[in-house]
Structure 1
Amino acid sequence: MLDTLPVGIAPSTVAFVVLGVTLVAFMWGRVRYDLVALCALLASVVLGLVPAADAFAGFGHPAVITVAAVLVLSRGFERAGVVDLIAEQVLKAGERLTLQLTVLVGTVVVLSGVMNNVGALALLLPVALRLAREHDTSSSLLLMPLAFGSLLGGLTTLIGTPPNIIIASFRGNITGENFGLFSFFPVGAAVALAGMGFIVLVGWRLTPRRAGQAANSDMFDTASYLVELKVGEDAGANGLTLQQLREEIDEAVPVLAVVRDDKRRAGYAFYGALETGDILLLEANTDELKQLEDKLGLSVVREPDDTGKDSKPQAHQDARADADKSDGRSRAVDTEGLQLVEAVVRNDSMMIHRSVRQLRLQHQFGLHLVAVARDGTRLKQRLRDIRFQAGDVLLLQGSESEMHESLATLGCLPLANRELTFGKPRKMALSLGVFGLAIIAMLLDWLPAAVALSAAAVVTLLAGVLTLREGYQALDGPVIVLLGAMLPVGKALDSSGGAELIAESMLQAGSQWPAVVTLVGLFVVSMLLSNVVNNAAAAVLMAPIGASLANGLNVSLDPFLMVIAVSASCAFLTPIGHQSNTLVLGPGGYRFGDYWKLGLPLSLIVMAVAIPVILWRWPL
């Protein structure tokens, strides 16, 4: 396997170089983590660390199959109406912040134990935003606790988070017996309860109170930007389509509606040519407005309100404008029903580092970009110049029938729906029943986890709970590729002797210390790693190191693997360590440095609770 290595260079040295470069690329973030993982895999094959015949064996690994099945089942819960059922109950939480936090965090903890934790957060994120709006609560006080709760809940079961699945499979490879579905529950439940108690009673005070977050309706208050322009008889816009109009001024100006003969048509659905007397309802800044007047001869009917307050609240729905004042009539323009929706850019979205033109949002996806918010503030720059980042909050307009599919393809999560309902409650009992049978099959050892959950996912598709297209969309491609590529790389760290060298160094450094101190050190290293790379990658890399430490100390393997499983999911310090953290970055108006203020004490509490419970349940 290692005969292609340069003479005189130890395999472990090459493995360290490959992993070092990989970790730097993960932290750099300019290249998406799945592509980084593929490069690491191919480099390992070329350098002889991984046999060419086994290069893609990771994609058939039970851990990868299990993660894929859980993702499909999670999407099935969403489509079956789980989100509506949850929203109905959670929204009854009342006005007390501690009660809101208890209900939200408690719900996401429970859901994250039976479905993918990112999927659980995705279900509750719009609910939390609505709760914040209805009770005039700063969403920044709710969203970070919600994200951290999803990470805590994932610790409770095998299927709650990818690190648990990876660690269970790793144990099976060494001992011949995987961790079971509820093997993680004693530690996970203790940690989740302690973490939830801290967040609800004390921790929320460590989160920033932001007034300009996306949950605040003022962020996308179009009253400050809404303008109406009339097409005069001599206007250059006469006879142009909306697309031609945009091309004339070389701007991606969002036309929300066209009013003709007192009838309003949504901009995304207007494909005809403009005529004399048409009124365009659009968002435009001063520069764009000047171009529309100078180049196309459009005349202003009503200018934006400089105060940012319209005569009617919620400009999306209730804006009124006077038109055709020459004949003394006042004609109301109703903008209700324009299909506006807010969505957040996921950290695996195809939109990241790309612009509106590169994505061809309007032509390929049927979406008009109306506005973009970043770090809790609406961006004022031209829409065509914006390159999207993970956590950006977008205000989009499009057809209701196509909106959901377009957002899913782009990698965006809808937040506060505006006259849109994504999915209808259907076949909830069937979806939950199939999942329950899979759990029973796992508990009674009738089927391995990968087979039982895959069977449940297939039945979910066959029963029509999800369409086949939705099933494929549920598969988180970047995570699947990351796991499939990194599993052979992690194995190479072990087979090259690298994991043993690291373990020996840690053992020498703590040769006079009790084994429990080594466990604490392993916890800290794994936790720090999970905050700068994907938690699944952290589990893959740390598992062989933990096994080597247990072997070197001549103690039980299980407590070391459990420490890695828990610590790899403790990505509380940064917004980049876990997708849940990234998803709330924009809607909560957080900054990079906000996370550690709550995350650091929470991490210490998790470690203080987890290690004693692990040693009680799995003695050394």
Structure 2
Amino acid sequence: MHGSTLVFMVLGLTLVAFAWGRFRYDLVALAALLASVLLDLVPAEEAFLGFGHPAVITVAAVLVLSKGFERSGLVDLIAEQALRVGDRLILQMLVLTGTVLILSGVMNNVGALALMLPVAIRMAREHDSPPSLLLMPLAFGSLLGGLTTLIGTPPNIIISSYRGSVTGESFGMFSFFPVGASVAVAGLVFIILLGRHLVPQRVGNASTEEMFDTAHYLVELRVPEDGKATGWSLRDLHKAVEETIPVLAVIRGETRHAGHAFHGTLQEDDVLMVEAGPEEMKLLEDKAGLVVGPEPPPEEDLEGDESAEAPGVDDEQSRDKGKGKDKSKRPSVDTEGLHLVEAVVRNDSMMINRTVTQLRLHNQFGLHLVAVARDGGRLNQRLRDIRFRAGDILLLQGGEGEIGDSLTTLGCLPLASRNLTLGQPRRMLLSVAIFAVAILAMVMDLASAAVALSSAALVSLLVGVLPLREAYQAIDGPVIVLLGAMIPVGEALETSGGAGVIAEGLLTLGHAWPVVITLVGLFLICLLLSNVVNNAAAALLMAPIAASLAEGFDASLDPFLMVVAISASSAFLTPIGHQSNTLVMGPGGYRFADYWRLGLPLSLVVMVVAIPMVLLVWPL
């Protein structure tokens, strides 16, 4: 069987696996690489050279530098200013989307979104507006901003490295700016003036209380005199009821112990603050002998207010007892001192397709899962049965000092509960100065992007801008594996003649048309591909096809590569095309079909602006 046919088979199966989403994209890419080696499409001795490719090193360095910006407080300072905008929606969208657009040009676009996402949610809550109006424009703004510089998005780095391998000279730091900035500004203007009317409104998701209804599920259960649970640990309690019901706090006298940190045994009159519905409460009463509420009040206090016997129980139980009371009149449970945080599951999280039990969330990470929201609403099934998905919003409890590290390890992004903390001025100036020197070295051709940015990352670690542990956590392992594995596969597409076959087909179809029509076709193919697979993978696969097309037309390589760079980073149609889109899906309450309403016209705007600008700046 011919090599090009085998390559098409491997790539076809790879694209199907990417689109299916059952297995993480880094595993799919690694499987494609090993299959290519076994089929003799990639020489065994060259199989893992992709992991040392300059594009991979550059992406890793950018991720470390982005984390340094975050830790130095530079971005928090910008975010603090953004929160001062008024209550006019158009100004909120302009400030938030414009800020993330600028940040995405100098740091990884997913990192820029991760920093501004809590700000947007906090702004929506302060002004009592649906976050769905702000989050999709914010995500799309991060993609548009990444178009402006070499380091803004992985496809730019890949295209630059590919050009270097073909011509001996890579694109520079600001080679993408004339076209990328024009597209970004046009996209921003469209989103602010017209696109905001296309963003779906998901009313009622701006409030943690509305999404999780936490107070209506928090109840106080007391260990009565001679109760079964006396002398039990919380582990014994969970074992007895055969259910991991979150105990948020154990109150003994005037002292409140956080549930995740309570390792003693229960005593008479201890009060357990439990997140539970009617079924779980009945289970705790029957199997552990716990009773609802603290010391019962005098009988006369209960007259005329029968609902007082079960403070915090939700309306379902009240209806069962025929009370019919307004839940707003029930005593609320004091949550002061409980370190509750919202977090969204990233699409590269270790939690995906796993349960609380499999993750050992409490034992290994010191976290209690309190509730899960999906598609803008709270999930009502048992917490232990929930298999997490990308975009799920989790309500978690943990130690204030360790919860941040645990979320980072799990692959979760803290949302509105994350406090803005300004960094030290010295660190802020250092991080900016180090980055500026690296950019200067790249612009003056003193060092390649990989060398300059890696040096900047190393210096940042040596001077203490970023601890080494956080630097390793900042490096996105799945993306690194994806790039390292797919680079040899992309080269096999070219060396086997597969890229030439595709280009020849496109040339045959478009031989009677102007070259610009072929560029439009190339843009649309790469655009559609980037919306179902990772944008870096789309760039890796389309770059050799673009080179073959340029050779077939006897035209300059640069405009074809620029079209691939722009289209590969324009994944506006689906929530799976880019991490930024996935990250806002849960907090915004979006559905899969919501994205194309704004994404389709925005994609057309990008194409209409990009192709003339490419031909103007990079003539055929």
TM-score (norm 1): 0.94
Q: Which residue of 2 aligns with 1:564?
A: 564
Matched, 1:255 2:263: no
Aligned partner letter, 1:385: D
CA distance in 1, matches of 2:329, 2:565: 56
CA distance in 1, matches of 2:84, 2:175: 34
Q: CA deviation at 1:401?
A: 1.3
Aligned partner letter, 2:173: L
Q: CA deviation at 1:221?
A: 2.8
Q: Alpha-carbon deviations, 1:251-299, whole Å to 9, x = none?
A: 1211111111122111112111001101111110121111101001111
Q: Alpha-carbon deviations, 1:210-256, whole Å to 9, x = none?
A: 12426554112312211111101232211111122112212121111
Aligned partner letter, 1:209: Q
Contact 2:69-2:431 at 8 Å conserved across structures:
yes
Matched, 1:131 2:84: no
Contact 1:215-1:587 at 8 Å conserved across structures:
no
Contact 1:77-1:431 at 8 Å conserved across structures:
yes
Matched, 1:75 2:67: yes
Contact 2:129-2:206 at 8 Å conserved across structures:
no
Q: Which residue of 1 aligns with 2:448?
A: 448
Matched, 1:229 2:232: no
Q: Which residue of 1 aligns with 2:96?
A: 104
Question: Counterparts of 1:455-604 in structure 2 under 5 Å?
Answer: 455-604=455-604
Aligned partner letter, 1:154: G
Matched, 1:146 2:138: yes
Matched, 1:616 2:616: yes
Aligned partner letter, 2:90: T
Q: CA deviation at 1:92?
A: 1.1
CA distance in 1, matches of 2:337, 2:152: 39
CA distance in 2, matches of 1:424, 1:552: 54
Q: CA deviation at 1:421?
A: 5.9
Q: Which residue of 2 aligns with 1:18?
A: 10
Q: Alpha-carbon deviations, 1:118-173, whole Å to 9, x = none?
A: 00000000000010011112100000000000000000000000000000000001
CA distance in 1, matches of 2:65, 2:38: 37
Contact 2:209-2:215 at 8 Å conserved across structures:
no
Aligned partner letter, 1:341: V
Matched, 1:196 2:204: no
CA distance in 1, matches of 2:557, 2:388: 44
Aligned partner letter, 2:61: A
Q: CA deviation at 1:303?
A: 3.6
- Pick one of 299, 302, 312 that aligns with 1:304: 312
Contact 2:74-2:423 at 8 Å conserved across structures:
no
Aligned partner letter, 2:22: R
Q: Which residue of 2 aligns with 1:6?
A: none
Matched, 1:401 2:409: no
Q: Which residue of 1 aligns with 2:414?
A: 414
- Secondary structure at 1:218 match in 2: helix
Q: Which residue of 2 aligns with 1:276?
A: 268
Contact 2:73-2:421 at 8 Å conserved across structures:
no
CA distance in 1, matches of 2:286, 2:337: 31
Q: Which residue of 2 aligns with 1:93?
A: 85
- Secondary structure at 1:258 match in 2: strand
Q: Which residue of 1 aligns with 2:389?
A: 389
- Secondary structure at 1:158 match in 2: coil
**Where in structure 2 are there 5+ consecutive unaligned residues?**
294-309, 316-325
Question: Counterparts of 1:279-358 in structure 2 under 5 Å?
Answer: 279-301=271-293, 302-306=310-314, 309-310=327-328, 319-320=332-333, 334-358=334-358
CA distance in 1, matches of 2:547, 2:20: 29
CA distance in 2, matches of 1:541, 1:98: 39
Q: Which residue of 2 aligns with 1:326?
A: none
Shift in CA distance, 216/236, structure 1 to aligned 2, threshold 3 Å: closer
Contact 2:217-2:275 at 8 Å conserved across structures:
yes
Shift in CA distance, 397/216, structure 1 to aligned 2, threshold 3 Å: closer
CA distance in 1, matches of 2:439, 2:420: 31
Contact 1:345-1:391 at 8 Å conserved across structures:
yes
CA distance in 2, matches of 1:127, 1:546: 40
- Pick one of 212, 216, 237 that aligns with 1:245: 237
TM-score (norm 2): 0.94
Q: Alpha-carbon deviations, 1:308-366, whole Å to 9, x = none?
A: 95559xx9xxx44xxxxxxxxxxxxx431211000000000000000000000000000
- Secondary structure at 1:170 match in 2: helix
**Where in structure 1 are there 5+ consecutive unaligned residues?**
1-8, 321-333
Aligned partner letter, 1:416: A
Contact 1:223-1:309 at 8 Å conserved across structures:
no
Q: Which residue of 1 aligns with 2:299?
A: none
RMSD: 1.4
Matched, 1:176 2:184: no
Shift in CA distance, 45/135, structure 1 to aligned 2, threshold 3 Å: same
CA distance in 1, matches of 2:400, 2:362: 14
Residues paired across the two proteins, number: 593
Q: Which residue of 2 aligns with 1:361?
A: 361
- Secondary structure at 1:400 match in 2: coil
Out of 278-287 and 103-112, give the one that drifted further.
278-287
CA distance in 1, matches of 2:75, 2:253: 41
Shift in CA distance, 490/375, structure 1 to aligned 2, threshold 3 Å: same
Shift in CA distance, 241/423, structure 1 to aligned 2, threshold 3 Å: farther
Q: Which residue of 1 aligns with 2:112?
A: 120
Aligned partner letter, 1:122: A
Out of 144-153 and 293-302, give the one that drifted further.
293-302
Q: Which residue of 1 aligns with 2:321?
A: none
Q: CA deviation at 1:504?
A: 0.4
CA distance in 2, matches of 1:242, 1:216: 27
Contact 1:214-1:373 at 8 Å conserved across structures:
no
Aligned partner letter, 1:255: V
- Secondary structure at 1:394 match in 2: strand
Q: Which residue of 2 aligns with 1:56?
A: 48
Shift in CA distance, 79/310, structure 1 to aligned 2, threshold 3 Å: farther
- Secondary structure at 2:210 match in 1: coil
CA distance in 1, matches of 2:400, 2:196: 36
- Pick one of 145, 157, 178 that aligns with 1:165: 157
Contact 2:212-2:377 at 8 Å conserved across structures:
no
Aligned partner letter, 1:374: R
- Secondary structure at 2:344 match in 1: strand
Q: CA deviation at 1:306?
A: 3.5
Shift in CA distance, 465/399, structure 1 to aligned 2, threshold 3 Å: same
Q: Alpha-carbon deviations, 1:346-392, whole Å to 9, x = none?
A: 00000000000000000000000000000000000000000000000
- Pick one of 31, 37, 47 that aligns with 2:29: 37
Contact 1:84-1:425 at 8 Å conserved across structures:
no
Contact 2:349-2:410 at 8 Å conserved across structures:
yes
